[in-house]
Amino acid sequence: MDCNTLLNEFQIVKVLLVDTQTKSLVLLGKINSQDAIVTFEKTAFSASLENNAQFKLQDILESTKLINHNDIYFWSMGLLVQDLDAAPGTKVNLIYPATEKHIRKYETQKLHMVRETAEMYEQKVAPFVETQKGDRIQWVYNIIFKDKESESFVHNNTDPQNGFVLLPDMKWDQKTMNALYLVAIVRRTDISSVRDLNSSHIEYLEGILRKIKEATCEAFVMEEDELRVFVHYQPSYYHFHIHVVNVAHPGLGSGLNVGKAILLDDIIDNLKLCSDYYQRKTLTYHLGELHPLWEILKN
Amino acid sequence: MDCNTLLNEFQIVKVLLVDTQTKSLVLLGKINSQDAIVTFEKTAFSASLENNAQFKLQDILESTKLINHNDIYFWSMGLLVQDLDAAPGTKVNLIYPATEKHIRKYETQKLHMVRETAEMYEQKVAPFVETQKGDRIQWVYNIIFKDKESESFVHNNTDPQNGFVLLPDMKWDQKTMNALYLVAIVRRTDISSVRDLNSSHIEYLEGILRKIKEATCEAFVMEEDELRVFVHYQPSYYHFHIHVVNVAHPGLGSGLNVGKAILLDDIIDNLKLCSDYYQRKTLTYHLGELHPLWEILKN
């Protein structure tokens, strides 16, 4: 059966994902009573920086309608010139028949901003964090204690107190330099998150930050001011680890956003200003409804 | 002169930016021998997760052409259904006449992380900020003092000390709720950036934050915990303003990233912990090489 015929028979059941950044849409539906998934992603403009001025505005834009203007700024909506071969408007991918696993991959969760006071941390979050240890972070212990993935280590300092392992994050393709993404996992096991840090850790953190920068810049031929170095709160696992990303990285999901990421430089500076900053400070962050903490914190 | 006429006279000189992630294109050109910038950003799909299955594939997709298939996977290119009111293909922003500063903003530039100490602020940044006032922010004064764009105001509190205007940001298409992006511009003119805030501003900021949330949630039927409210440092203009974004917004460029965005909640909490926090704190942020501060701060 050809793809056009399949698409014509597609009956929408549910919108699985709307991505306003990449202009994508994922739909779950039925074709002949079997599950199917259709994914749209609008195409990028095909102009290139090298191929300057070899076209006219009219080659791209069919017509416009003004929304508003102020001084030298005008904003409008427009219709694009489209052509199936030269300028298609969208990619269309179909998975048919789709399995449960395909469907789950696309389901999105609603996010909420949470204001976690020191008291909420003590009473609700700290007890939750304790339940997240043991087997759940076995894969972390495999890396730091059993040299799992050691073939990809960028740096490995085995000092049990100050040491850490620096390695490529799974999200990085290890090719695209703009998207460089490493993770540093510390060897000591007594820090679950930023909430456990105080001024006694300043030298320790400064040492790690210095070595992260040195090792990364040596391995990938970069300058130290080209790195965005941060932690997550909430982290995805409760063993202290640090994200190391090219400052040119455009972001992926919400992992670089304020309200999730905290610069390691800011952590050190805050501890210098106030020794128990992270025990006293209300932390504001986004949390998805599928995160187990959401059920605990929402009331 | 109307915008359509201006666009018709636009002669492309140079492609300034092609963003394949957000499907954006920025062109530098001439209108009547003056510089002008046209920005395209393709629109997001307007389907929402709540409004399930209330449409057909044919409402979105006009036709398709198969590229390839393998087992259960089919990939095609397609033409989109377009309508200037209900389903425009693109936003079109025009800046005319454009200044050197506008042009530089779009040129792809290398980013650096900068550590701005209190001393660097006093000696180098504060004098620069003073040069950025006057005519450069006339468009801001048009909004707050001359009711320019007042037809789109979401909220308008005219108190000269505590008042502010809340209105849609130019980056928002005013349709896609996940990408909701408003900006609150305060009426008082004595705050250039977060560096000017101290504990005497706590009540003032709390009042603004409360009203921003109330007004936004009432106007757009949202819950208060669905808003990410932050400022930029460095801001793009030195008159205090606050960004208000749907927490589900996936980010655009680097404007939501840690190292650029600072949550208003964090500002208030920091001022409560330490009254001169923003006069003492080293601020770490990314800065592009084309930003005039880069020349001032790089050594």
Alpha carbon of B160: minimum distance to chain A alpha carbons (Å): 22
What is residue B50's predicted lDDT score, i.e. its pLDDT? 66
Question: Does B94 contact A at CB distance below 8 Å?
Answer: yes
Q: Is the pLDDT of residue B140 over 70?
A: yes
Question: Does B1 contact A at CB distance below 8 Å?
Answer: no
The answer to ipTM > 0.85 is no
Share of chain B above pLDDT 70, in %: 97
Q: Is the pLDDT of residue B280 over 70?
A: yes
- Chain B residues 217-246 with CB within 8 Å of chain A: 223, 225-228, 230
What is residue A96's predicted lDDT score, i.e. its pLDDT? 94
B51 pLDDT tier (thresholds 50, 70, 90): low
Residues pairing with B168 in the sheet: B182
Give chain B positions within 8 Å (CB) of A48: 15, 18
- Tens of pLDDT along chain A (299 residues) come to 688 899 999 999 999 888 888 899 999 999 999 999 999 999 988 877 665 567 889 999 999 999 888 889 999 999 999 999 989 999 999 999 998 878 877 777 789 999 999 999 999 999 999 999 888 888 899 999 888 888 889 999 999 999 999 999 877 878 778 889 999 999 999 999 999 999 999 999 999 999 999 999 999 999 999 999 999 999 999 999 999 999 988 776 678 999 999 999 999 999 999 999 999 999 999 998 888 899 999 87
Return the axis-axis angle of helices B202-220 and B264-273, rounded to nearest 10°: 160
Q: Residue A261: left if φ>0, alpha if ψ -120 to 50, beta else—which one?
A: beta
Write the pLDDT tens digit of every residue in B197-232. Answer: 999 999 999 999 999 999 999 999 999 999 999 999
Which helix (H) or strand (E) element contains residue A184?
A: strand A181-186
Annotated binding-site residues of B for substrate read 139, 149, 169, 171, 232-243
Distance CA A194, CA A199 (A): 12
pTM of the entire structure? 0.78
Q: Which pair of tokens denotes residue B144? A: 């707050």
Distance CA B211, CA B178 (A): 21
Pair B28, A73: CB distance under 8 Å: no
Residues 6+ apart with CB under 8 A from B196: B190, B240, B278
Catalytic residue among A69, A155, A241, A286: A241
What is residue A203's predicted lDDT score, i.e. its pLDDT? 98
What is residue B185's predicted lDDT score, i.e. its pLDDT? 97
Pair B242, B230: CB distance under 8 Å: yes
B272 pLDDT tier (thresholds 50, 70, 90): very high
Domains in chain A, please, with CATH?
Answer: 3-90 (3.30.200.40), 109-297 (3.30.428.10)
Write the pLDDT tens digit of every residue in B160-195. Answer: 999 999 999 988 888 888 889 999 999 999 999 999
Average pLDDT in the B81-106 region? 92
Distance CA A266, CA B88 (A): 43
- Chain B residues 249-278 with CB within 8 Å of chain A: 249-254, 256-263, 265-266, 269-270, 273-274, 277
Residues 6+ apart with CB under 8 A from A244: A166, A180, A181, A182, A183, A184, A212, A216, A227, A228, A229
What is residue B184's predicted lDDT score, i.e. its pLDDT? 98
What is residue A51's predicted lDDT score, i.e. its pLDDT? 59
Q: Do A68 and B277 touch (CB under 8 A)?
A: no
What is residue B228's predicted lDDT score, i.e. its pLDDT? 97
Give chain B positions within 8 Å (CB) of A61: 7, 40, 90, 92
